Amino acid sequence: MPFIVRRLVFYLVAAWVALTINFLIPRAMPGNAVQSVMAKFPNLQPSAYKALEALLGVGHPGSLWSQYVSYLDEIVHFNFGTDVSQYPASVSSLLVQTLPWTIILVGTATVIAFLIGTVLGIVAGWRHGGTLDRVLPGLMFLQAIPYFFFALILLELFAIRFHVFPTGQGYDNGLIPGWHWDFISSAFYHSLLPALTIVLTSIAGWMLTMRNVMITTIGEDYVIAAQAKGLPSRRVIYTYAARNALLPQLQGFGLAVGFVVSGALVMEIVFGYPGIGLLLLNAVTSNDYPLMQAIFLVITFTVLLANLVVDMIIVVADPRARTMEAAS
């Protein structure tokens, strides 16, 4: 079985586990979630009550198994139910509105941070004990700062003190979202500070792991042999050492995506950025369980998809991944 197919099957298993956990949580938790939702939103229709019961499994219509089957059926058709706090909007329509904001912002910023961090890590690993090594403790401090706190500081400095950037939200208030220049430039301008937050806080992690792998790789015999042959340093660094050191880095990237996304969600709250993190906050503050669960699923699937993309890059970068069929 080719590497990529196996990984695909693994992600399907992971997705299934996430779906099942999502199904079991409301049924296993104590207390009646439907009652608390209904108490909070007295204007809900009786039909919404029924739908909520079915989704949260409180009224126990049918056996657990038949509930599970109908639950999976709903999910497959992207039907996450009706939203209770913004009734009668459907949960999926809310997700469709907010997801692109998060994906574009977090995706771009993460890739930029990964690229810069990796290049800095290569240099730091090669010039072991050099200037870049000495700034490492400073970078560790940056890495230890919670995303949202860093966002608060950047806002305080650049938006409140020196009015360089807007204080939040995704675009200027007067604009109507659409594909025209005013809106796009405004959205870009508003996304700079959030993007900067992600890049600055996550860069140190990429740099540190790349540096450490680089140092180990440089000690390998083939790198020493390449140097002894008299190859130019640039070629030794990038073609011999960095290319091999990149593989563990890529594998780490897949796993770290989840962390970055989680941090970015909380950061969005600080900026009032109209992404999925802000939606999640609204869901939490209004006890909007269907929305919370749908967001969990969507984020999980997005992270799994990102992992799959990383695996495809690994197949391109690592010849071993292509010759696996023969090996197994």
Partner 1 sequence: MTAVLPISAEPAALPQEDARPGRWRRMPAKAKAGAILLGVFVLAAIIGPFVAPYDPSFQNSSPALSLHAPYSAHLLGTTQSGQDVLSQLLVGIRLTLELAFFVGLVATALSVIVGVTAAFLGGVWDEVLSLLTNVFLVIPALPLLIVLLGYLQTKGQSATILVLSLLSWPWGARVVRAQTLAIRNRDFISAAKETGEKTWRIIGYEIVPNEVSLIAASFVNTVLYAIGASVALAFIGVTNLNSWSLGTILYWAQSQQALQLGAWWWFVPPGLAVALIGTGLVLLNTGIDELGNPRLRDAASASRIAGRWLRPADPTPVLSDISQRRGRVAGFLHSFSRSSLIDETKAGDAR
- Interface of this chain with partner 1, residues 164 to 223, rule: CB under 8 A: 167, 212, 215-216, 219
Report which of 50, 58, 52 is spatially closest to residue 37, judged by C-alpha positions: 52
CA distance 321 to 300: 25
CA 251 to chain centre: 15
The verdict on 320 binding partner 1 (CB under 8 A) reads yes
| C-beta of 187 vs 294, nearer to partner 1 | 294
Position 17 contacts partner 1 (CB under 8 A): yes
**Residue 267 is encoded by which pair of tokens?**
């950061």
Q: Interface with partner 1 includes 37 (CB under 8 A)?
A: no
Of 326, 325, 317, residue with least CA distance to 6: 325
Evaluated on CA atoms 142, 113, 311, 100, the torsion sign reads: positive
Examine residue 134 and tell whether it contacts partner 1 (CB under 8 A).
yes
Residue 30 near partner 1 by CB under 8 A: yes
Taking CB under 8 A as the criterion, the residue among 58, 258, 312, 313 binding partner 1 is 258
CB of 193 to partner 1, least distance (A): 13
Q: How far are the Cα atoms of 81, 139, 277, 281, 287 from residue 284, in angstroms, in the given order?
A: 17, 33, 11, 5, 5
Q: Which of 123, 155, 203, 236 binds partner 1 (CB under 8 A)?
A: 155
Q: Does 270 bind partner 1 (CB under 8 A)?
A: yes
Applying CB under 8 A, what is the total number of residues that bind partner 1? Answer: 80
Q: Is 254 in the site for partner 1 (CB under 8 A)?
A: yes
Structure tokens at 88: 């009668």
Within positions 277 to 306, which residues make up the interface with partner 1, using CB under 8 A? Answer: 280-281, 283-285, 287, 289, 292-293, 295-296, 299-300, 303-304
Contacts of residue 25, defined as CB under 8 A and 6 or more positions apart, other chains included, come to: 293
**327 near partner 1, rule: CB under 8 A:** yes
Q: Shortest gap between Cβ of 81 and partner 1 (angstroms)? A: 15
Contact 29, 293 (CB under 8 A): no
Does residue 321 belong to the site contacting partner 1 (CB under 8 A)?
Answer: yes
